[in-house]
Each structure stands twice: as C-alpha cells, then as structure tokens.
Chains A and B, each alone.
Chain A
Amino acid sequence: KAGVTQTPRYLIKTRGQQVTLSCSPISGHRSVSWYQQTPGQGLQFLFEYFSETQRNKGNFPGRFSGRQFSNSRSEMNVSTLELGDSALYLCASSPDRVRPGNYGYTFGSGTRLTVV
C-alpha cells in the first residue's frame, strides 16, 4: 500500500513568488491535513480538508491556502512568499477525521521549501 506522497521534495523560490505543493493521501483516506515545521516554531497546523471541504484552519495569514480534490488529493498554495516561509511542509492523511485515534495520521516525507 503506497504511503502519503508529497511533491516536490525540494523547492527554492524567490521572495514575492508563489508556490504550490501537492499531496496524495493513502488510498481510501479522506482527511488530509497540512503542517509547517520550522526550527523556531516547531510543527504547526495549517489546515485540514475532508471530502473537499476545509474544516479547520490554523493561525496562518491568508497567503496560505489549500484545496482538496474529489480523489482526496490536496494542494496547498503560498502566495507572495516571504523569507520566513522557508520550512518543511508536511502532509498527513487519515481515513477518519472524527476518530483519528482509531487509525492515526500517516505523514509524507514533506516538501522542503527555501525562500531566497
């Protein structure tokens, strides 16, 4: 069974540009969530999608957005990149958003974004 796949693995962007990251969840998983990991702030929740609907959003500016497609694949977009957006972006999937403890969350390897 394939795991959570994130593409690309590495990205280098310039300040002011925008970027789109992709996440393919485990087959059958309908909940996809995104996290940002930085040395200073640690792992922070960005947003969660379930059946194409954003159900929860973390405390991030509106430059961070996402969406989920009918096949549960998800993308996140960051517009007007800032140096502080440099981070590892991790995607996680779960088959059941309501009872994640029954199944847990499976994470991908992440996309490492560097903004220069």
Chain B
Amino acid sequence: AQKVTQAQTEISVVEKEDVTLDCVYETRDTTYYLFWYKQPPSGELVFLIRRNSFDEQNEISGRYSWNFQKSTSSFNFTITASQVVDSAVYFCALSEAESNTGKLIFGQGTTLQVKP
C-alpha cells in the first residue's frame, strides 16, 4: 500500500539554524515521483521540488537541499540558514506512475516555526 510518513509534527528553530524535515514513503511501484510542497498561512501549496524514482542524485537549490535514498525509502529536505519566511507547513508527497492513479499521496505535514 502507498503511504507517506512525516514523523515530525512540529519543529521550532531559531533563525540561521539548519533544519532537516524527514519523509519516508512506501510504494510497490518501481516508477514513482516524490514532491515537496510548502504551505504558508495563505493556504496555497507551493511546489518546491520533484524527483523521479530513477534519479537519486541529491539536489541543492539555494538554501534548500534534498537527499533521496531509495535504499531507505527516504526523501529528506534540509533548509540551511533558516529564515523567518521559511515558517510554514511542509508536505512530502508521492505519485505512483505505474498505478497511474493521477493522485498525490501526502504525508501529514511538518509545521516549521523559525523564530527571529
């Protein structure tokens, strides 16, 4: 069965600290996509990154970096030198290509609070 687990419900850090958000997924498909979204208080889900199951290369984009490890079914997200504007709820999501259901399976989200 497909599932996404974000074990951290809430994280609170002080500005400029590094923070890692954990995501573990379960799927039987060999072809799948993983996403991270950010949801600020306004409610809109803002796309951050996508990864397909054949691309385990880690990625860095500015202060954001992602660590995808198929061996542990994890897709973790790190914010370096956090800022107050990073405060939001972050969701990890899975889309199964072989099942072709056209849906995203979301984790429960991690609320990140960055204090000044």
| Chain A interface (Cβ < 8 Å from any Cβ of B) | 31, 33, 35, 42-43, 45, 48, 50, 55-56, 58, 88, 90, 92, 97-101, 104-110, 112
8 Å CB contact of B35 from A42, A50, A105, A110 = A105
Contact yes or no, B35 A104, CB < 8 A: yes
Q: Is the interface of A mostly helix, strand, loop or mixed?
A: strand
CB-CB contacts below 8 Å: B16-65 with A: 32-33, 35, 37, 42-47, 50-52
The docked-state distance in angstroms from the alpha carbon of A105 to that of B45 is 10
Residues of B within 8 A of A43 (CB): 91, 104, 106, 109
B116 at interface by CB-CB < 8 Å? no
Residues of B within 8 A of A31 (CB): 102
8 Å CB contact of A99 from B45, B51, B97, B106 = B97
Q: How many residues of B contact A (CB 8 A)?
A: 26
21 A-B contact pairs sorted by A residue (CB < 8 Å): A33-B102, A43-B106, A48-B101, A55-B102, A56-B103, A92-B45, A97-B102, A98-B100, A99-B97, A100-B33, A100-B97, A101-B32, A101-B50, A101-B95, A104-B35, A105-B104, A106-B47, A107-B37, A107-B44, A108-B44, A109-B42
The docked-state distance in angstroms from the alpha carbon of A70 to that of B58 is 40
